[in-house]
Structure 1
Amino acid sequence: MPDLKIISRAEWGARPWAGTPASVPLGSRSEFFVHYDGATPITRTGYAIPRAIEAEHLGNGWSGVGYNWVVDQAGTIYEGRGWDLQGAHCPGHNVTGLSVQIAVGGDQEPTAAALAAARALYDEACRRTGRTLAKKGHRDGIATLCPGARLYAWVRAGMPATGYTPAPDPGGALPGGGSAGVARYQVTIGGLAYGYGAKGDHVTKVGRALVAKGFGKHYADGPGPTWSDADTENYADYQRSLGYSGSDADGVPGETTLRKLLGTLPAPPATSTPPAFPGRQYFKAGADNRFVTQLGQQLVKKGYGRYYAQGPGPRWSENDRKNVASFQRAQGWSGGDADGYPGPETWRRLFS
């Protein structure tokens, strides 16, 4: 795809922004997220696709389309937030992450043209930022089914595209230390993830152990709870000190080297059992009970409390329903599955 043609907001008939999103410099971008439309296959075509997304996102109280771009099955790219505006696609990643929604739903098969267009956007994003952006599905940023099994497998496979030649790796420094071109995959050892993007106290523990053994030169600010390229490069130095080379010294831990570094492997945190779902009758107009407060507090904790003016309370309100609906949509649900009224599965996921 030599020419990256993007249909502008004006061309597809976008409404004026309902409050202009904040600007984000390209230097702040380090991730590229892939999304899908939800649980239902998409039958709309052409400009009707971004217009339908816009209507839904405005209904969420957003400024307009929350993705940076939308790609349809014909491989047409529609502008959303574009290159310079903050998205509304994944809480906690709307500044660092650029995003594309491929307009499929459920188990719908994306076309080769759609995948090639999305991959071309990714390569252009890497070119403009001067760095290799981390390829991610929506579920890598928050608990959700998005972007569905098919697209997530495609992302994990490296976003290959038939008939499209990916651009060369631009290299360049990445936020958090380190540089592009190092290993970017994860392994699970003792129930915990290690490698690029892994998070937790166990990652900090590995970083501190590396520093203690003299393998911390790639850290700019010291080890932290999120595995970065700097962790990978420091771990590779440690592996080479043990006599490993080639792919055996790519900076991603194996159990043998990790035990040698730490002595005892960290144990995964204990998981708590979600409280039992009390029943739908507690969440409807006129309801006033402790379960509504419990629900609201958990919504706020998970980052879905934007509609509360004064915080959650025991009386069920439209703001409770809107916040629940936002959480449900983040799971990849739509229509009646995202109506804002909690059921057993919404409750389980919210308290997991």
Structure 2
Amino acid sequence: MSVKIISRATWGAKPWDNDPRSDGPAYVPLSSRTEFFVHYDGATPITRTGAAVPRAIEAQHLAQGWAGIGYNFVVTQAGQIYEGRGWTRQGAHCPEFNVSGIGVQIAVGGDQEPSAAALAACRALYDEACAKTGRTLAKRGHRDGIATLCPGPKLYAWVQAGMPATGYTPAPGGGGTAPSTPARYQVTINGLVYGYGAKGDHITAVGKALVKKGFGSHYAEGPGPTWTDADTECYAAFQRSLGYSGADADGVPGESSLRALLGTLPGKTAAAAKATAPAFPGRDKFGPGKSNASVTQLGRALVAKGYGSAYKVGPGPSWSEADRRSVQAFQRAQGWTGSDADGYPGPETWRRLFA
């Protein structure tokens, strides 16, 4: 199937901020997109059809004070794809992932069954996103970004299964156009980082295991402690031997393939990692006029990570502009821009800072 997107003008979208003079949400280059988030509408099944679907979402989001519809695209049960914020505008669908993530709502709610047409359209949109960005985007459900039930059990299971679609054959490589270079993103599994540029004894262990299983043909030397394109190529060959294809065989480990290679997953278990990481104390602990131990804890972590140059003294318990600037520098280092790098920590900033 080809991807046909119904434009904002065609479905009757209102001007951004209900103001014809507004330029709308910030521009995001396609090079910043690394993830594809799937959402649903919530607890209530959707009975609307056609353009009534994005119009209803737009009305709700405008009432919440947003610039307009928050999703980049909306997919109906009939398989129609409606433009929301489009490819290059910052979304408003998952805090701290609105720059890196393209957010797509499949218009179902509650226990409603997503149609084959809706799933095929969403998968085609995903492949188009991979083609436009020139990389294999990570498949995410909304709950992978924040604590929420979205996108519901049925859609989340579909995302975890790799977003298969009846009657639709994904383009080679998991996207509309296969990237010209090996995948160069990273994943974290049990607290250990894998993928291009990752370093450590666990990287050497993966390389040695690949060689032992007969998948070391791309190594000119090594394997060594730094993940290179050779590791990616060797790992992709191993993934294909397991029956994976397309985006699921891009050479970046997932838990299942890594377990198949090594037998057990190295690093901390998810429970252990959660137990050792400090819990996010809440947004109300930070900002002008705030003074508490969490501000000190934040500042010390920023200094330890190398983002403390703004501090002339401290850090201490009283929130200051130095705290905000230090947090902002750390957020920008994650590739975030605009409101995602405002200098005020949220749960994802906190998680990455203390990882």
Residues 21, 209 of structure 1: alpha-carbon distance in 2 compared, 3 angstrom cutoff: same
**Residues paired across the two proteins, number:** 251
Partner Cα separation in structure 1 for residue 290 and residue 60 of structure 2? 25
* Gap change, CA 1:235 and 1:300, over 3 Å in 2: farther
Please tell me the residue identity of whatever aligns with 1:140.
D
CA contact (8 A) 1:74 1:111 kept: yes
Structure 2 length-normalised TM: 0.59
Query: Alignment partner of 2:258: what SS?
Result: coil
Q: Deviations over 1:163-219 (max 9, x none)?
A: 222112133278xxx617x9xxxxxxxxxxxxx733664448x94224677623435
Secondary structure in 1 matching 2:273: coil
Local SS of the residue matching 2:168: coil
Q: Which residue of 1 aligns with 2:282?
A: 298
Tell me the equivalent position of 1:225: none
Aligned to 2:200: 208
Counterpart of 2:119 (choices 111, 115, 119) is: 115
Q: Hey, what does 2:258 align to over in structure 1?
A: 253
1:145 Cα deviation after fit? 0.8
Secondary structure of the structure 2 residue equivalent to 1:197: strand
| Residue equivalent to 2:5 | 6
Any idea what the Cα deviations from partners look like across 1:258-311, whole Å, max 9, x if unmatched?
87x97xx54613649xx9xxxxxxxxxxxxxxxxxxx9x62447xxx9xx9977
Residues 41 and 140 (structure 1 numbering): CA distance in 2 closer, same or farther, change over 3 Å?
A: same
Normalising by structure 1, what TM-score? 0.60
Q: Report matched runs for 1:168-187 at 5 Å.
A: 168-169=172-173, 170-172=177-179, 179=183
Q: Is the 8 A contact 2:73 2:82 kept in 1?
A: yes
Percent identity, please: 55
Give 1:122 shift: 0.9
Q: How far is the alpha carbon of 1:103 from its aligned partner?
A: 0.4
Task: Render the CA deviation track for 1:142-163: whole Å, top value 9, x for unaligned.
Answer: 2211111111111112212222
Residues in 2 aligned to 1:56 and 1:98: alpha-carbon distance in whole angstroms: 20
With over 3 angstroms needed to count, the CA separation of the structure-2 counterparts of 1:215 and 1:116, relative to structure 1, is: same
What is aligned with 1:151? Answer: 155
Partner of 1:70: 74
Q: How does 1:70-149 map to 2 (within 5 A)?
A: 70-149=74-153
Partner of 2:303: none
Please report how far the alpha carbon of residue 236 of structure 1 lies from its aligned counterpart in structure 2 after TM superposition: 4.7
Where does structure 1 lack aligned partners over 5 or more consecutive residues? 183-195, 220-229, 276-294, 313-352
Q: Is the 8 A contact 2:38 2:142 kept in 1?
A: yes
- Check whether the contact 1:7–1:76 (CA below 8 A) recurs between aligned residues: yes
- Alignment RMSD, CA only? 4.0
Aligned mates of 1:35, 1:78 — CA distance in 2: 14
Q: Using the alignment, how far apart are the partners of 2:109 and 2:94 within structure 1?
A: 18
**Deviation at residue 247 of structure 1 after TM alignment:** 4.4
Residues 75 and 247 (structure 1), Cα distance of their counterparts in 2 relative to 1, 3 Å cut: closer
- Structure 2 unaligned segments of length 5 or more: list them: 206-222, 244-248, 292-355
1:43 aligned onto 2:47: yes
- Contact 1:34–1:136, Cα closer than 8 Å, also in 2: yes
Per-residue deviation, residues 87-143 of structure 1 (Å, max 9, x unmatched): 111112111111210000011011111111111111111111122211111111222
1:67-88 CA deviation, whole Å, 9 max, x = no partner? 1110111111111001111111
